[in-house]
Amino acid sequence: MNKAFETSTLVRFAHVDSAGIVFYPRYLEMLNGAVEDWCDQALGVDFNTLHVERRIGLPTVRLEVEFITPGRLGDHLTIRISPTQIGRTSCHINVEFMCEGETRLSARVVLVCMSLDEHRACEWPADMRSRIVEELVEAA
């Protein structure tokens, strides 16, 4: 199994509710930020190039999330993305949010490569597809 892509983020005041724990929609914003990092750092195409120049979006079409342990203000989160399957237009990824070795959140996500001009699914660009294939891991 290949090593998963990793990025990190800090749980900030804007992420937490009055109980001091991460308000669950903020995790989804962090997840989207991690996908942006993955595209830029692992797949070699930043979101500006992808959206503005190539006119391609990567909407989430399926999302299954398990909130395991509450995140707290000041936590330094490691976010791991592991592609598990790639189709002609879709890509399945597993995402884990970790803090000090403890899983805070686990998600299974399906992204679809989409033409922003036609608003329909399109094939993954060859350069991105080849990098995803290199990272592909077997689903657990």
* Global confidence as pTM: 0.92
* Residue 1 reports pLDDT greater than 90: no
Condensed to tens digits (0 to 9), the pLDDT of residues 33-72 reads 999 999 999 999 999 999 999 999 999 999 999 999 999 9
Distance CA 80, CA 69 (A): 16
